[in-house]
Structure 1
């Protein structure tokens, strides 16, 4: 039991999926896991543990933004010895060929700053995914026929950004999408020798202004969850 996670040591699996939204964690656990049990509700950040095809899995909400994710990832790694952490969440598309409902498997995650920035000082550290997870996720997506893009994303520390010049450079340099958590997750995983990946669904687009209606998100996000689960246990 930690400050932010009320689960007992044996209630957290070695593989954890981390959506930002605690209610998305609840939906994913009830939809994809067998025997899912609530193992955390501290501060309303829900976590569930069950099995998927006989494999124990925890789905734990991480909150919004890198500072919040850092709290949960640090506690999952340091106190519960989690080995594999996969972010499942939404993102904004940035390239014209990236469509709404497409899945992005994040190879790298660029950022201006993160909770880990201070320890690197002048160095521009390049956070990246675990290659084994990434390759397995791509294979799973291809098998499902899901339109998938693999490459770099941008982890922003603000939701309401006012830097169109920065967006322009992201697009110019091939960044596929923007979200708010993956860069810190990848950094923490590297620091502690764990596996990490972000599998993201494009829910809106920065260039076209398109947005996925809330009632359509469940089915689309299901592809992302199953790809993450397949990758974790490939």
Structure 2
């Protein structure tokens, strides 16, 4: 706790809740605070990576942007877990669909996160790590989705380091292995949680499908993303 504030987070000890919702976009963090939290305060503006703490149905909850890619969420989640006493981080973001039974607007929950990143090399493991979500958070998320009648798929997702991939066959190969969708952060979050003995979950909304060409119009994204946000807020501990 003595390492606060950090070079990337201006919060002081005690200003961040035990559970943090982490969208990639800091403006989405601001949207969540303004529309879902009560009595919220801003604890971070460093690098414009906004962070807020407030209450949701009486529970203290924080929300903070995590940026794009594993290196970014790797820094923010490590500091939250290690220096601010955070126990659970729930990533909420958009994803591109792979699987045929995944549709635009569906919520996808990452039970595991495959990756083409070299993030795990730092651990010098004698094999390949399979980064997985915390089961208690995953189970609660599925239960909340069912109660709210929200269409949800649970399975393996891909955390890719490349948004524009020179390998034009890469998506086909991941799809052939049953990967549901692609995003860019969950595997790094899951690895940090595993190493530090913490909890993590990634909840995604399918904003477009890489095979059907379906895409969510900009004006509909905010409405669809609200379902994902509500699930995450309901399971905050």
Normalising to structure 1: TM-score of the pair?
Answer: 0.97
Q: 2:83 aligns with which of 63, 79, 83?
A: 79
| 1:88–1:200 CA contact under 8 A, matched in 2 | yes
| 1:178 alignment partner in structure 2 | 182
| 2:26 alignment partner in structure 1 | 22
Q: 1:109 aligns with which of 110, 113, 123?
A: 113
Cα distance in structure 1, aligned partners of 2:180 and 2:99: 6
Cα distance in structure 2, aligned partners of 1:97 and 1:67: 31
Q: 2:139 aligns with which of 135, 138, 151?
A: 135
Cα distance in structure 2, aligned partners of 1:54 and 1:47: 19
C-alpha spacing 1:122/1:165, structure 2 compared with 1 (3 Å): farther
Cα distance in structure 2, aligned partners of 1:232 and 1:49: 13
Instruction: Tell me by how many angstroms 1:121 deviates.
Output: 5.2
Q: 1:126 aligns with which of 98, 107, 130?
A: 130
Indicate the SS of the match to 1:9: coil
| 1:7 alignment partner in structure 2 | 11
The C-alpha deviation readout for 1:165-207, integer Å capped at 9, x for no partner, is 2211111111000000000100100111111000000001110
Unaligned runs of 5+ in 2: none
Indicate the SS of the match to 1:20: coil
Indicate the SS of the match to 1:150: strand
Runs (4+) of structure 1 exceeding 3 A deviation are none
Indicate the SS of the match to 2:169: helix
Unaligned runs of 5+ in 1: none
The C-alpha deviation readout for 1:140-163, integer Å capped at 9, x for no partner, is 011111110000000000111232
Instruction: Tell me by how many angstroms 1:112 deviates.
Output: 1.6
| 1:114–1:184 CA contact under 8 A, matched in 2 | no
| 1:155 alignment partner in structure 2 | 159
| 1:41–1:47 CA contact under 8 A, matched in 2 | yes
CA RMSD of aligned residues (A): 1.1
Cα distance in structure 2, aligned partners of 1:18 and 1:50: 14
Instruction: Tell me by how many angstroms 1:211 deviates.
Output: 1.5
Instruction: Tell me by how many angstroms 1:36 deviates.
Output: 1.5
| 2:61–2:236 CA contact under 8 A, matched in 1 | no
Indicate the SS of the match to 1:35: strand
